[in-house]
Amino acid sequence: MFSSRARITAIGSYVPERVLTNADLEKMVETNDEWIVKRSGIKQRRIAQEGEFTSDISYQAVVNLMERYNKSVEDVDMILVCSMTPDFKTPSVASLVQAKLGIKNTGAIDINAACAGFTYGLHVANGLITAGLHKKILVIGAETLSRITDFEDRTTCILFGDGGGAVLVEYDEVQPSFISSHLVSEGEGGKKLYSTHLSSSMNGEDLVHTGKLVQSGRDVYKWAVTTVPKGMERLTELAGTSLEEVQWFVPHSANLRMIESICERSGFPIDQTLYSLVNYGNTSAATIPLSLDIGVKEGKLRTGDKVLLYGFGGGLTQAGLLINWTL
């Protein structure tokens, strides 16, 4: 791992006002609060209002970041938005955020790595800054998954919600954040979690062509709890450290039972794990920044802590980062 010159200097988040509780879902599909909590740990989720899209959520997360850390974004030279639910096919969400923020001289691109999106975005930002190509980058993870959720499918509609988080990554060779990274993709498993678009087949197999999220929950669960602990071990090996020296684990908040299994298999304490699913559900690329911000607001994350971030999901993709918490 080459030496990083990039530092995370601020964080912000935003979730829509509308709350969808488990009791609300009981009126929509055959389910109940006890069943949902037992299988997922989720109690409620946020749902975007009509006319509220991923670019709006992204913008509000950046506004929250600026207000809390007294940061200006006028000199940001790259915007990376990590999302699988863009407002449009084109222009990108990043371009829309650029316009909303009024930043005149910046690159703007979207990254779609599904639930691993935010960690991929941080990895790219670290590379761009460390290479000397950019100095100040906004990395945003935001989703409006409610718009591609099938609310007649009781196995998936209980899981997903909307929200977003943003961090500012700046050049800093004295106190960099990034220690090691580990990225994996298994595209042959893409049919286990997908939402169709132009094509209605994948790897020669027909898909359910509804445009909604389709998931083989059991297969995704088995894949994640088997492979993520190995990735966590690889991250610490690359950094020349061990899991015992990591203060916080921040996985993708897909499902609490999945996180518990990953912790059990890796030997990492569940009480040193940050997740956002209880009140926000699975927000794909937004779960990790939302979880980090919960840790900040609750006073858990402290300067100097080693934090292991691990995104995993549709693709099938994984991206893990070991970072020093530098806020």
Specify the DSSP class assigned to residue 3.
P
Contact by Cβ (8 Å): 159, 282: yes
Selection from 9, 103, 14 nearest residue 61 by Cα:
14
Both tokens of residue 259? 């996180």
Catalytic residue selected from 22, 64, 255, 282: 282
82 in catalytic set:
no
SS3 19: strand
Q: Are residues 11 and 167 in contact, defined by beta-carbon separation less than 8 angstroms?
A: yes
Instruction: Locate 237 and state its tokens.
Output: 């090996």
Catalytic, 263? Answer: no
Catalytic residue among 22, 64, 115, 157: 115
Instruction: Say if residues 100 and 55 touch (Cβ distance below 8 Å).
Output: yes
**How far, in Å, CA of 260 to CA of 256, rounded?**
6
153 Rama class: left (phi>0) / alpha (psi -120 to 50) / beta:
beta
Q: Of residues 123, 134, 182, 252, which has the active-site annotation?
A: 252
203 catalytic? Reply is no
**Residue 141 near residue 186 (C-beta atoms within 8 A):** no
Task: Identify which of 284, 182, 290, 300 has the alpha carbon closest to the alpha carbon of residue 248.
Answer: 300
Give the active site residues.
Answer: 115, 252, 282
